[in-house]
Structure 1
Amino acid sequence: MGNLSLITIIIIAANVIISFKAFGDYGFFEKYKFNVGAVRRGEQIRMFSSGFLHVDNAHLFFNMFTLYFFADVVIDYLGSFKFLIIYIGSLLLGNLLSLYFHKDEYHYSAVGASGAVTGIIYSAILLQPDMSLYMFFIPIPIPAYIFGVGYLLYSIYGMKNRIGNIGHDAHFGGALGGYIITLILASWLFETHLLMIGLLALPIVLLFLLKKMGKI
């Protein structure tokens, strides 16, 4: 882990400043959170702005702490500009998938950088699949690709069973964004990490098969 890059500092600062503004201003929070009804009425800014809002300090800290660990992997391989494309693209695709799955639930709302951060995690896994991840509750390192596949499968399970107050579909959409955009920006991965690309694609294919079958 090297020094934090400027773009990572800017993103973390934006999340902190905007989230803290919303903590003390309920009207601001309501105006910029992701809400299906509002988005369908034309308030598309919420698709972007909701990614910088959080429900509390713990939610904000966990997302920014996770970003802190994975951002440099992507930046080292692809540079700051492409990192930013992946971050914003994953944020938007996470909310697009939420909109797709909840399009008839006009009350459905969500906030958080989780989709964007998950996209960065999956980009990092594609770029450096041999890295290991440490989970708080598991004392041994987990290969990144096992975490990647497992997380997507858990997200499908969470979406199917509506587990917890968690936007599993936004997480999945963010991962999908990180996956697709990274492959577009780093097409050389098809020559070096083809097996990993196929492995991470399996849960994505499974999700859309389940959706087509009406299981989700």
Structure 2
Amino acid sequence: MNSIPTIIIAVTALVTYAGLSDFSFFEKYKFNISAVKYGQQYRMLTSGFLHADWFHFIFNMYSFWTFANFLTREFNTMNFLLIYFGSMLLGSLLTYYIHKNESYYSAVGASGAVTGIIFCAILLYPEIELLLFFAIPIPGFLFAVLYLGYSIYGMKGRFDNIGHTAHLGGAIGGLVLTLFLRPDLFESRVLFIGILLIPIAVLIYLVKMKKI
């Protein structure tokens, strides 16, 4: 089972290398609103294997590897892949929905999928400690709430080049798919789930009110 994360990292490395080596390859498979709108929905998944540079790749894949090791003890191969690619797809779908009127909008990276894996691990192990700003240890459940809140803030403010929408979509995907596969968590994690629903409800409200 541990070979699955390794295979994902290897394939992502190969596709990233191809994209960074060949501009036309990169342009063909990146996420782009206009291209998706006109029938190239495959970009919603292929863009998750491309990265803007090697630092982007290393950061995403290191995060993925760290948390994937927790999940390989919890899920079989099919369910693990469902969480990874389901989170990737939901990140792309939310990005498309939020930015559908911005024909120029483009994005690459496995961030949606990786965020889904991270939030799945946090839901299963809320007591796990993570480093805020790579220095301050905080419990996983607090990190999850802060992360969702910051993602919504980043989507609304658009003050940087980070794909906050894909992050948020991936986080929601990781939570929903984990609960689908492990409904017993509704009993043991009910308070935590309720807390996480607050920023998600805020997102829905902001979208409906056209404030994002």
TM norm structure 1: 0.95
CA displacement 1:143-167 (0-9 Å, x = unmatched): 0010000001000000000021111
Which residue is equivalent to 1:134?
A: 131
Aligned counterparts of 1:125 and 1:76: Cα–Cα separation in 2: 14
Are the equivalent residues in 1 in contact too, given 2:48–2:110 (CA < 8 A)?
A: yes
Which residue is equivalent to 1:104?
A: 101
Structure-to-structure mapping, 1:177-216, within 5 angstroms: 177-216=173-212
Matched, 1:159 2:155: yes
Decide which of 52, 56, 81 is 1:55's aligned counterpart.
52
Which residue is equivalent to 2:143?
A: 147
Decide which of 23, 27, 30 is 1:30's aligned counterpart.
27
Which residue is equivalent to 2:168?
A: 172
Are the equivalent residues in 1 in contact too, given 2:132–2:143 (CA < 8 A)?
A: no
Aligned counterparts of 2:74 and 2:198: Cα–Cα separation in 1: 25
Aligned counterparts of 1:150 and 1:59: Cα–Cα separation in 2: 22
> Secondary structure in 2 aligned to 1:77?
coil
> Secondary structure in 2 aligned to 1:76?
coil
Identity of aligned residues (%): 54
Number of residue pairs matched by the alignment? 212
Which residue is equivalent to 2:117?
A: 120
Are the equivalent residues in 1 in contact too, given 2:2–2:69 (CA < 8 A)?
A: yes
Aligned counterparts of 1:81 and 1:43: Cα–Cα separation in 2: 26
- Which residue type is aligned with residue 106 of structure 1? S
Aligned counterparts of 2:211 and 2:105: Cα–Cα separation in 1: 20
Aligned counterparts of 2:142 and 2:12: Cα–Cα separation in 1: 29
Please identify runs of 4+ aligned residues in structure 1 that moved more than 6 A: none
Structure 1 residue 136 displacement after superposition? 4.6
Decide which of 78, 86, 95 is 1:81's aligned counterpart.
78
> Secondary structure in 2 aligned to 1:78?
coil
Aligned counterparts of 2:206 and 2:87: Cα–Cα separation in 1: 22
CA displacement 1:175-211 (0-9 Å, x = unmatched): 0100111100110101111111111111111111111
Aligned counterparts of 1:171 and 1:102: Cα–Cα separation in 2: 14
TM norm structure 2: 0.97
Aligned counterparts of 2:46 and 2:163: Cα–Cα separation in 1: 16
Structure 1 residue 134 displacement after superposition? 2.0
> Secondary structure in 2 aligned to 1:42?
coil
> Secondary structure in 1 aligned to 2:73?
helix
